[in-house]
Amino acid sequence: MNKTTKIYIAGHRGMVGSAIWRALETKGYNNLIGQSSKELDLRNQQAVHDFFDNEKPEVVIDAAARVGGILANNDFPYQFLMENMQIQNNLINASLKADVKKFIFLGSSCIYPKLAPQPLKEDYLLTSSLEPTNEWYAIAKITGVKACEAIRKQYGKDYISLMPTNLYGSFDNFDLKTSHVLPAMIRKFHDAKHSTVNGQQAPVTLWGSGTPMREFLHVDDMADAVVFALENQFQDNLYNVGTGTDLTIKELAEMIQRIVGHEGDIIWDSSKPDGTPRKLMDVSKMTSAGWQAKIGLEEGIKGTYQWFLENQDSFKEVKM
């Protein structure tokens, strides 16, 4: 690996992909390539293979995916299953055929069983049933992990999978129809702060009981982990990426409420699903490899809210 290595970042305009691009540029990598979804439809197998034939990347980072929260996964199960498999399968197969030396596949902690012991170890994959609210996305990502593992086993190539915990940060999705829990809370508390009910700031209604526990990783830390994986040889095929610490959804809500400056009530709608009771990553393999997260949650949320304030006029509602 050197600074002129040709690196293709799939999904380079998304939250994760753009953070990886910035991190690589900061370290001096100067041969980065990317294509927008309009320029290259990753669901189109022939188009992907033609792109690889023309560009001949040496390294591929797969940060492309159709993503969303519980609501989006529940409403569009087919798209979350099929489109994610199409995207990753096309990229993995094209990389194999083009003799790409290093491939980094990015997944999600939702690949692990709903009731797996905590913290989640890489060995728990496929040991029990998944969380029903996002199993479509999880199944797609599991196939990607296994495809990379199969290539590593059969062809001896350096194809690895990094499984991040819940990510947040600059360029996040704040559309309430499709966003994940942390950016959705930022948006809800911000909107309620600027609305009144009976002369007071509007209340915020949040799904579930607030008792589930979640872990959050800033996207810049995730990008740093990807760069670390690029520059080092890993012994295994699958690594968790996270902070190793978590908090309840209620604690998260109260932290975001304080940062945003919302002074209204929080209403918990217990008729809505909680999702997995707890989802804490065991990050000991990454720690042993020499990497750990650096950005604290409160610091990260403050920066994310500032980014939201500076860019909210440019947000577009996401259509499925």
Other CB atoms within a 10 A radius of the CB of residue 148 amount to 26
User: Do 281 and 241 touch, CB atoms closer than 8 A?
Assistant: yes
Q: Which residues are annotated as a binding site?
A: 11-17, 106-109, 141, 164-167, 180, 188, 207, 214, 274
CA 220, CA 36: separation in Å to the nearest integer?
A: 21
Catalytic-role residue among 137, 159, 239, 305? 137
Instruction: Give the residue from 207, 280, 229, 196 showing the smallest Cα distance to 23.
Output: 229
- Count CA atoms closer than 13 A to 75's CA, side-chain side: 10
Other CB atoms within a 10 A radius of the CB of residue 222 amount to 26
CA 117, CA 124: separation in Å to the nearest integer?
A: 8
Active site residue 124: no
Q: Which residues are annotated as a binding site for NADP(+)?
A: 11-17, 106-109, 141, 164-167, 180
Total count of residues recorded for the chain: 320
What are the residue numbers of the active site? 137
